[in-house]
């Protein structure tokens, strides 16, 4: 599965957002996702399995508890793929920055 296919699901993106803050136990993830999205424990487990199988997260066992953390390699893969398309919006952002600077200069001249 391509990295962007995995990231296409909003629940999996939310799991990664939560894990961005650091390692988290399954129960904590279930609590957040149930509270925010109404997602059940079995559904969270399925999403975690997809993330684990695709390499986005690693799991660490501590007795009966499972802790998940982000593995950045697949995120780099997605970033590299997107970078090939960056040229389509970078010139627009450069033009926007130029226009903003032009407006600032006009305001300074009026002051």
At residue 13, the 3 state secondary structure works out as helix
What lies within 8 Å, CB to CB, of 14 at 6+ separation is 32, 33, 36, 37
* Confidence (pLDDT) at 65: 92
* Confidence (pLDDT) at 84: 86
pTM: 0.75
* Distance separating alpha carbons of residues 58 and 19, to the nearest angstrom: 11
How do residues 66-87 score in pLDDT, each as one tens digit? 999 999 999 988 888 888 887 7
How do residues 31-73 score in pLDDT, each as one tens digit? 999 999 999 999 999 999 999 999 999 999 999 999 999 999 9
Q: Is the pLDDT of residue 1 over 70?
A: no
What lies within 8 Å, CB to CB, of 58 at 6+ separation is 52, 68, 69, 70, 71
Q: Shortest CA distance to 37 belongs to which of 26, 46, 29?
A: 29
């Amino acid at each position: 599965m391509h990295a962007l296919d995995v990231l296409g699901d909003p629940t999996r993106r939310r799991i990664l957002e939560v894990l961005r803050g650091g390692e988290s136990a399954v129960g904590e993830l279930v609590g957040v996702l149930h509270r925010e999205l109404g997602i059940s424990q079995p559904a969270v487990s399925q999403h975690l399995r997809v993330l684990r199988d695709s390499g986005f997260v690693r799991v660490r066992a501590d007795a009966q508890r499972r802790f998940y953390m982000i593995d950045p390699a697949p995120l780099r893969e997605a970033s590299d793929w997107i970078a090939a398309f960056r040229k389509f919006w970078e010139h627009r952002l450069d033009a926007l920055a130029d226009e903003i600077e032009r407006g600032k200069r006009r305001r300074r001249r009026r002051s």
